[in-house]
Amino acid sequence: MDQKELRLLEDRCIQENPPACTATCPVHVDVRSFLAEMARGNIDGAYAVYRKTIPFAGIVGRVCDHPCQAACKRGEAGGTIAIAALERACVQLAAPKTAKVPALQKKDQCVAVAGGGLSGLVAAFDLAAKGYGVTVFEAEGRLGGRLWHLGEDVLPGQVILEETASLERLGVRLQLGTAVGRDVSLPELDFDAVYLGLGETVKGLESLELDDRGRVAIDPLTFATSFRGVFAGGSMLTGETVFSIIGSVSHGRRAAVSIDRYVQGASLTASRDREGPYVTRLFTSIQGVEPLPVVSPRNPEQGYTREEAVSEAQRCLQCQCLECVKACEYLASYRGYPKRYIREIYNNESMVKGQHTANGLINSCSLCGLCAEVCPNGLDMGEVCKTARGSMVQKGKMPPSVHDFALRDMEFSNGNKFALVKAEPGQHSCAHLFFPGCQLSGSSPEYVAKAYAYLREGLTGRVGLGLRCCGAPAEWAGRSDLFREGLYEIRHQWHELGQPRIITACSSCYAVFKQNLPGVDIVSLWEIYDQIGLPEGTLTHDGYRVAVHDACATRHESHIQASVRHVLERLGCRVEELAYGRGMTECCGFGGLMSFANPGLAAKVIDRRAGESGTDYVAYCAMCRDRLASRGKPALHILDLIYGRATESLALRPDPGYSQRHENRARLKARLLKEVWGEKVADPTGFENVKLEISGEIKTVMENRLILVEDVQKVIEYAERTGNKLVNQDRFLAYFKPVSVTYWVEYAPAEEGFRVYNAYSHRMEIAGEVQR
């Protein structure tokens, strides 16, 4: 990821965009934080938030024309938040505080502000706060201009006097009773810059260019007039019929920015697109938000009491996007959101020395793509993580332990024990190639045999068999080398078999082939059952209610999802749809090798999925079924309903575990070779002949530690052959490192073979050979 890609990706996550209220406010008051403090009853805290943006808060808080309010999302659920009334309550209830005078270094330059109305006061305040020497020229004998016309009940004169007194504390000089254009001409003002906030008048300003309405021409972006160093705003720009309090604040502030830039010789126009009101990109769902009516003050003239204000503020939705975080356990578990994660991933990738703290973040994603479905901008964190994994592998920075086991499992499936790609007996080519996938073969080998027989019987044209792994684990692990190698082999075998249509029984295989084998015709087994009917004699299930757990790999394959439902209906099932179903389905926690990188999170993912309905689930991916069952959720594979008997107990059968999967695959190959082709697999050799007794408890220990039966066999075979072992009474303890992991096994001779008492492993290597 380079800087440009980083920015593009970051930009697609809108979580950090401001809520509509803030974006609509011409000076972008942090209304959300203001309301959060109010809702907590922290009135002084809310006042502090407000004053961070608003000068003369006591004035503006009482009389703001609140354009923010109309933009409030709460309007769609009960009524917009009474933001103006809450600001008023806040400035009335907060403990009185005088504005802090920032201890800034004074600048040498001086600015004249002509007109003591609100825009001029704000310009004077901001410029004085930046250290400029500021003089305000006001025609009247007091500051405030039109603020005095709003009425004593709305804005007491005392408040105007108190609030504007802060200018003098900032060192602003006042020339009251002095009108620019009357008492002093514009060219006479010997200042580095001038701000004009004089209302609609042009009297005495004839030296300035006027627009076609006869008003002083003002650039709406920079507030510059035709005269260098002279800026203007307020009613001079908008006309006096449109008096907006917050608009005046905004004009004064933006003109002060221009004056500062002008005096400092900086660009007047650079990066000013987010000044003034704009439309935010933040999306906030109000799905499921309970509509609540606006709190009415018991005494409307007095406004909100403290209690009323707090309950009204509590209606605030605290607008955020977080659509993906709400939908995904993984994204929620790192306590942030994609924009932050993308930055962390970028930093992780670009750092040279130190701990790569985002490795877990990158490797824990299931790559299921749900985030892209729910994101208003289609941002896919899976793609970001997948790319990052590839880059880690390339730089040699991928932690070896994360994917090692899964990749060795893939190696097993593509090795002698399982891999078998064959046309029907006596044939060299086939019209169809049944590709059941390694997980279905590892989990329910008997169904693979039955489905193969069904296809050979029911389809026109010969049906070959392809037992091997599609390569998905390599892709998920960022191992594009292994992935490409596997695909190359598969394509080659497909050519040799006469380019058959491939029939998959696993959604991951389907997705891998569809995305990576252009020109190959792919169909799912479920579509075949849908098209040519169920096997003869299939039992139906009399209204058995099942909820469909769609596979994430085929979230975009609506035809497969439809076929699955047709087949279930034909099986007599009543189909329940999950809220996160079809295109919005969730991963089972195996995708992306999440369960290897972050087993704790993967367990949470499947628990969340299992908890979405009390109905038994039906999956059409063997791994999904087994993972659901591993957490106690009654779940069936669709083939259980076609070929199984006693579905109640089948729904509860446990995950077979990694060792059993290997054995099942090997046995399936042996069985099909024998039954279909009349061939025999090679007899077991070496360690394969080591017979073991392993209790259920130790099997679980081994499973959790990712230690296979064959690993234990290798250790014992080595120890017995070499005598390199420890002894303690009748027990032996031996270690052996077949490839990258050193396995330790505690065992004792048993009646037939050996009984295993414990197994553990480490990846650190013990240097030095054992001396004979």
Written as one letter, the residue type at 21 is: C
What lies within 8 Å, CB to CB, of 285 at 6+ separation is 323
In terms of CB distance, is 97 or 705 closer to another protein? 705
Q: How far apart are CA 577 and CA 735, in angstroms?
A: 51
Judged by CB under 8 A, the residue of 732, 736, 747, 754 near another protein is 732
Shortest spacing between CB 392 and another protein, in angstroms: 11
- The span of 142-150, 269-277, 350-358, 552-560 binding another protein (CB under 8 A) equals 350-358
Judged by CB under 8 A, the residue of 98, 267, 296, 695 near another protein is 695
Is residue 161 within the footprint of another protein (CB under 8 A)?
no
Is residue 751 within the footprint of another protein (CB under 8 A)?
no
Is residue 698 within the footprint of another protein (CB under 8 A)?
yes
Shortest spacing between CB 771 and another protein, in angstroms: 5
Is residue 266 within the footprint of another protein (CB under 8 A)?
no
Angle ∠(725,727,729) on CA atoms, nearest 5? 160
Shortest spacing between CB 701 and another protein, in angstroms: 7
Shortest spacing between CB 10 and another protein, in angstroms: 24
Q: How far apart are CA 706 and CA 657, in angstroms?
A: 10
* 317 conformational bin, left if phi > 0, alpha if psi -120 to 50, beta if neither: alpha
Shortest spacing between CB 707 and another protein, in angstroms: 12
Is residue 723 within the footprint of another protein (CB under 8 A)?
yes
Is residue 270 within the footprint of another protein (CB under 8 A)?
no
CB of 433 closer than 8 Å to CB of 406: no
Judged by CB under 8 A, the residue of 701, 737, 738, 753 near another protein is 701
Tokens describing residue 17: 């965009």
Judged by CB under 8 A, the residue of 400, 415, 599, 654 near another protein is 400
Is residue 772 within the footprint of another protein (CB under 8 A)?
yes
In terms of CB distance, is 143 or 358 closer to another protein? 358
Is residue 768 within the footprint of another protein (CB under 8 A)?
yes
Shortest spacing between CB 594 and another protein, in angstroms: 17
Q: DSSP character for 185?
A: -
Is residue 739 within the footprint of another protein (CB under 8 A)?
no
Tokens describing residue 117: 């109305």
**Radius of gyration of the CA atoms of the chain, in A:** 37
Q: How far apart are CA 351 and CA 394, in angstroms?
A: 15
Shortest spacing between CB 705 and another protein, in angstroms: 8
Is residue 327 within the footprint of another protein (CB under 8 A)?
no
Shortest spacing between CB 749 and another protein, in angstroms: 13
State how far the alpha carbon of 232 is from the alpha carbons of 112, 198, 222, 257, in Å. 12, 8, 9, 12
State how far the alpha carbon of 346 is from the alpha carbons of 367, 400, 545, 731, in Å. 18, 21, 47, 51
- The span of 261-269, 545-553, 613-621, 719-727 binding another protein (CB under 8 A) equals 719-727
In terms of CB distance, is 645 or 772 closer to another protein? 772
Is residue 287 within the footprint of another protein (CB under 8 A)?
no
CB of 184 closer than 8 Å to CB of 224: no
CB atoms within 10 A of CB 453: 15
Is residue 357 within the footprint of another protein (CB under 8 A)?
yes
Judged by CB under 8 A, the residue of 535, 733, 737, 738 near another protein is 733
State how far the alpha carbon of 186 is from the alpha carbons of 114, 173, 193, 194, 197, in Å. 9, 18, 11, 9, 13
State how far the alpha carbon of 650 is from the alpha carbons of 157, 590, 639, 656, in Å. 81, 21, 11, 12
Is residue 746 within the footprint of another protein (CB under 8 A)?
yes
Shortest spacing between CB 508 and another protein, in angstroms: 26
Is residue 744 within the footprint of another protein (CB under 8 A)?
yes
350 CB burial (10 A radius; 0-12, 13-18, 19+): exposed
CB of 93 closer than 8 Å to CB of 309: yes
Shortest spacing between CB 725 and another protein, in angstroms: 5
Q: How far apart are CA 751 and CA 418, in angstroms?
A: 30
Is residue 771 within the footprint of another protein (CB under 8 A)?
yes
Is residue 731 within the footprint of another protein (CB under 8 A)?
yes
**Kind and range of the H or E element at 239?**
none
Is residue 753 within the footprint of another protein (CB under 8 A)?
no
Is residue 241 within the footprint of another protein (CB under 8 A)?
no
User: Interface with another protein by CB under 8 A: which residues?
Assistant: 354-357, 359, 399-402, 695, 697-698, 701, 705, 723-733, 735, 742, 744, 746, 757-758, 760-772
